Amino acid sequence: MLYKLIIKILGVIPYKGLFYIGKVLALLLHTLPNKHKKISKANLELVFPHKTSLQINSILRDSLFHSIMNMLEAGLVWGNQVYKKKPGFINVKNFSKIETALSSNKGVLLFTPHIGNIEIIINFLGQHTDCTIPYTQPKNKDLDKIITNSRNKSGVKMVDINVSGIKEMLSALKNKKLVAVASDQVPKKGAGIISKFFNSEIYSMSLLPKLQQRTGCVAHLMYCERKENGKGFVIHFDSKIDLSSNIQDGVDKMNNEFEKCIMKLPGQYSWEYKKFKRTKLDSIYK
């Protein structure tokens, strides 16, 4: 009930109002000691060793703001989703590339880093495609129900990240449908390999090249950009990329695409995850 109430309240606040609330909360989060700030700063200092402390702090402030916005936008993306009817709030670039791939009788594998708000992408794909996405259930059952109901209403099919879920993703791709994966987070042990991310070792998901190898699908990177001053979002779809030559090269290519994408909007990336855990660099978080 509490989550429903919070989402309902957030859903009635004008979006520009949420934007300014986010600015205030980000200032507090940047000022006070907290784990999000600590982890984000550790990641940024490792990834950008040649940037000054002022430059690091600038990206850190922006990242904390965008992470807060992801929470404040819960009413927007999991509520009544009236933003879909607002002209100009969502702009989409190069979706024709995905439509062309689907019309060529091939499955399509989309992958994204956590930039902007990925729920905006999920809602869009649910409206316009037959889309399957892997999903890790939150511990709170009430929140899980809200997310599940919202995504089902949007038209996406969710599967667990397990053997059964992978079989369903393979089936979707073999049947010329679309699978979308936020593949930049650290996977469970045994579900990834060591790769490079901004010249440092990182344990990365190996699922994408395996899916492409097994199905011959087309792979594209996509990402969501939050516009300035509460004006909405832009969803970007990039050109196709081959991840299937072998698993190591595929994962390396995936991370390279993430790097290029993040460098376009470094402050909008979610740096608060322990990106380098399960490697010898895990000590940066202590």
- Structural domain including 92 reads 2-285
* DSSP for residue 3: H
Sole residue written with tokens 């990925």? 118
- Number of domains, the chain: 1
* Alpha-carbon distances, residue 161 vs 33, 50, 190 (angstroms): 34, 37, 13
Find the Cα–Cα–Cα–Cα dihedral 55, 56, 60, 62, rounded to 10°.
20
Q: Which of 139, 134, 281, 119 is nearest to 197 (CA)?
A: 281
Our CA angle for 200, 189, 222, nearest 5°, is 60
- Its pTM stands at 0.96
Residue pair 244/250 in contact by the 8 Å Cβ criterion: yes
DSSP H helices, 32-159, are 35-47, 53-72, 74-78, 95-103, 118-128, 141-154
pLDDT score at 78: 94
pLDDT score at 245: 84
* Alpha-carbon distances, residue 193 vs 69, 258, 276 (angstroms): 32, 16, 12
pLDDT score at 1: 72
Helices 247-264 and 207-215 cross at an angle (nearest 10°) of 120
Q: What's the residue count for the chain?
A: 286
pLDDT tens, the chain, 286 aa long: 788 899 999 999 999 999 999 999 999 999 999 999 999 999 999 999 999 999 999 999 999 999 999 999 999 999 888 899 899 999 999 999 999 999 998 999 999 999 999 999 999 999 999 999 999 888 888 889 999 989 988 999 999 989 999 999 999 999 999 999 999 999 999 999 999 999 999 999 999 999 999 999 999 999 999 999 899 999 999 999 999 889 999 999 999 999 999 999 999 999 999 999 999 999 999 9
Q: Please count the CA atoms within 13 angstroms of the CA of 86 that sit on its side-chain side.
A: 13
